[in-house]
Every structure is written in structure tokens, then in C-alpha cells.
Amino acid sequence: MLTSAPLLMSSLGMLGVSKKASAEPSFPAGKLEVSTDELVSIIRADLAERQYLVNGNVSSNVYLDDCYFTDARDDFGPGLKKWQRGTSLLFVANKSFAELTGDVVFDPKTRTIEITKWRQQDYFRLPGTPHSPVFTGSVTLTLHPTFNLIARHDEKWDMDPDTITKQITF
């Protein structure tokens, strides 16, 4: 016996079955559900205590796995683990430093967290352990539209990247 589509949809509706799929995305497995205040505290600790900019040691449970990373020189694209691995392989963590010199603030209108100022010096894993001059910058972290998880990490430097490169000391 054939039933018409409207009759089928009406019958499903009476049974509590919606004809629309749920538009609400589910919270990603393995990630930490936190308030924006808690997220700001985690980000502050990632930089102030763990110096994540020179070792990749971020609290990965508050970042989307496909978080997009950029800095003043490079567009690293999506991939938290890729960025962490690249950062940890590029810098000598026990010689490099990154310190928080400003504040970490949440803007609810743009759903961003701003690390307003940091200072950093990089020692590279290259023969002779060359190092950059000390330079400063900021980071804008853009949150997922629904979840308090970081979807984008954009680093800005207060010094031109070419100037920093020219001042690397061997």
C-alpha cells in the first residue's frame, strides 16, 4: 500500500518525529565545557605559566581539533596537532621564552579573547641555535559560534616579520 508524503509526515509528527534534522551541533567529544571566564583563565595560564607560543603546550581540550592558526609571517591553516608539533619542533623550549605582559580579555560581541600583549624571544632548533630579538605582539582567539572552544588563533607582531628575520643572531 502506498502512502502520500503529506500523510506520512503528518503521522510522523503525531509520533513526535520531526521532519527537520536537529540544527544544534553536538559538543565535540574530548573537549572541556567551560564558561568564558574559565576559558580566559585557561588561556592566561597557557601563556603566563606554560609559554605556549614557544612550545605548543596549549590546553588542547579548549581548542577545536581543526582550529585555524596564523601569525604575522605564516598562515598555518587548520590543525591543532599540526601547529603544536610544528611549534615544538621549531623552538628550543628551555631557551626560548614567551611572557604575558598585558591582559587577557573576552569580548562577548565578537566572541573573541584577546591576549593584549606578550613578549617573546625564540631560539631555533638549527645548528648554532640562532635566536630572534625580543619582540612583542598580541593574539586574537575567535570562539566557535555555539561553544566556548577556540576555532581560530591569530597572532600579530608589533615588529615587521622581515625586521625580526634580519635581526636573528647566530
Where are the domains positioned within the chain?
A: 33-166
Q: Please give the pLDDT value at position 68.
A: 98
In the chain, DSSP assigns E strands to 63-70, 75-78, 97-100, 104-107, 112-121, 135-143, 150-157
C-alpha distances out from residue 105 to 2, 80, 155, 156, Å = 60, 22, 15, 16
Helix H segments across 5-58?
Answer: 5-14, 36-48
- Sign of the alpha-carbon dihedral angle for 154, 157, 163, 164: negative
Instruction: Classify domain 33-166 at the CATH class level.
Output: alpha beta
Residue segments in the chain with a per-residue pLDDT below the cut of 70: 1-23
Q: Please give the pLDDT value at position 24.
A: 78
Q: Please give the pLDDT value at position 8.
A: 40
Predicted structure pTM score: 0.86
Q: Please give the pLDDT value at position 19.
A: 47
In this structure, what are the phi and psi dihedrals at residue 10, rounded to the nearest 5 degrees?
Answer: -65, -45
Q: Please give the pLDDT value at position 85.
A: 98
User: Is 116:104 a contact under the CB 8 Å cutoff?
Assistant: yes
Residue 67, Cα to own-chain centre: how many angstroms? 6
